[in-house]
Amino acid sequence: MAVTLPVTPAPLNTDFCGLTLNSPIVLLSGCVGFGEEYTRVDGFSNADVGAVVLKGTTRESRLGNQPHRVYETPAGMLNAIGLQNPGMDRVVDHILPGLDFAETRFFANVCGSTIDDYAAVTKRFDDSPIDAIEINISCPNIKQGGVSFGNYPDMSAKVVAACRAQTSKPIIAKLSPNQTDIQENARLCIEAGADALAVINTVMGMAIDTENRRPVIGNVRGGLSGPAIKPIALLKVHQVYEIAGPRNIPIIGQGGIVSARDAIEFLLAGATTVGVGTALFYDPMACKKINTGLADYLKVRQLQSVSQLVGALQL
C-alpha cells in the first residue's frame, strides 16, 4: 500500500530513484541515530526533510570504538564512533516499527567487515519497510571493512554487486574521498547495480593532545566532517556528476552543508539531493532554514523545481 507523505511547496519536491521526497534535504547516517533523536527537539520534524538515513547497521551488534570518539576541530568535527549499533535484527524488528513512514522516507545504512556481511544485512532490510539502502563502503573509522572496500574501485563494485543480488530496493553507494580515482569507483559501482551515489563520506584525519603526546581519538584516526571539507566535497560531486549525470544516476551531495547557499552550490555541481549532518549538532533547525532559502532562491529566479538547478553549473 502506497504511503502518502506530507505536502511541501511544490518546488522542493524531489524525485530520487523513483521516490518522491518532500525536500532535497537528506539527514545523514550517524548524525540522527535511528531517526527519532531529533524529533525530541521542539520545532524539529522529520517531515521537513526528504529522507533520513539511519545509523550504520551491521549483522551483529557492535560496541564501537574506545573513547574519545568525537572531537571538535576548526570548522568541523572529527569522529570515530566505530559503527556502534544493536545489530540488524534489533533494528528491523524493534526500531523500524517505531518510525513514522508517513512522515518522511527512511534509508538504511548497511555496513560490514566482509562482503557476505554486507549481503546479509541488505537481505535483512529488503524484507522491511525501508525505502532505500545505502551501502557504506567508505567508513574511515573502523579498522576493517568500510574503508578497505571503499578505497578500491574493484572491491567497491563487488560489495555493490553482492548487495544488488539481495534486494530490489534502490541501492545508494556511499563513496570515499580518501581514494585515488573517485570517478572510476563511481563508474564501477553504477555498473555493479548502484541506483544512486552518496558523495562524499568523511575525510580521514586525526588530532593530537600535545600535553600527553597522544592521539585525541581512541581509534587514532577518524572522519572529518563539517564546513572544513565543503570545498573537497563540492569538487568530488562535480567529478562524479561527470560520470553519473549522463547515466541519470542521482547523487546525494554532502560535506559541510549548513545553509541554503551551501545546498545550492552542491545542486549546481550535480547533486540531486543534499545531505545535512554535522550542522544539526549546533543548529537543529538548519533544515527549516535551508528549505526556506531554497524556496526563496527558486522564486526569485522564477524556477519551478529544484531539479532545474541540478548540474546547472556554467563552465
Q: What is the pLDDT of residue 141?
A: 46
Q: In one letter, which amino acid is 258?
A: V
Task: State the pLDDT at residue 10.
Answer: 64
Domain assignment present for residue 132? The answer is yes
Residue 262 lies in a domain: yes
The whole-number average pLDDT for the span 119-148 is 82
Q: Is residue 74 assigned to a domain? A: no
pLDDT in tens, 235-250: 999 999 999 999 999 9
pLDDT class for 150, splitting at 50, 70, 90?
Answer: confident
The pLDDT value recorded for residue 306 is 96
Q: Say if residue 4's pLDDT is above 90.
A: no
- Mean pLDDT within 288-314: 96
**In percent, how much of the chain has pLDDT > 90?**
87
Q: State the pTM of this model.
A: 0.94
Whether residue 89 contacts residue 5, with contact meaning beta carbons closer than 8 Å, is answered with no
Average pLDDT over all residues of the chain: 93
Whether 149 has a pLDDT exceeding 90, the answer reads: no
**pLDDT value of position 89:** 98
- Res. 94 pLDDT band, cuts 50 70 90: very high
Q: What is the pLDDT of residue 241?
A: 98
Average pLDDT over residues 13-31: 97
Query: Which listed residue (17, 31, 111, 139) is catalytic?
Result: 139
Domain membership of residue 228 (yes or no) is yes
**Is the predicted pLDDT of residue 70 greater than 60, yes or no?**
yes
Q: Looking at residue 287, what is its pLDDT?
A: 96
275 exposure class (CB count in 10 Å sphere: 0-12, 13-18, 19+): buried
Q: Please check whether residue 215 lies inside any domain of the structure.
A: no
Residue 147's pLDDT band, with cuts at 50, 70 and 90, is: low
Contact of 20 with 13, CB cutoff 8 Å:
yes
Average pLDDT over residues 14-41: 94
* Residue 235: partners with Cβ closer than 8 Å, 6 or more residues away: none
Asked if residue 298 is part of any domain, the answer here is yes
Rounded-to-integer distance, Cα 250 and Cα 159, Å: 19
Considering the domain boundaries, does residue 278 fall inside one?
A: yes
- Residue 262's domain comprises 10-64+84-204+223-309
CA 59/CA 124 separation, integer angstroms: 9
Residue 7, pLDDT score: 47
Cα–Cα distances in Å, from 96 out to 53, 55, 172, 313?
12, 12, 19, 39
The predicted model gives 299-305 an average pLDDT of 94
Tens of pLDDT, residue by residue over 182-225, are 999 999 999 999 999 999 999 999 999 999 999 999 999 999 99
Q: Residue 256 sits in a domain of what CATH number?
A: 3.20.20.70
Active site residue 287: no
At 151, the pLDDT band (50, 70, 90 cuts) reads confident
Residue 133 located in a structural domain:
yes
The pLDDT of residue 36 is 86
Number of domains in the chain: 1
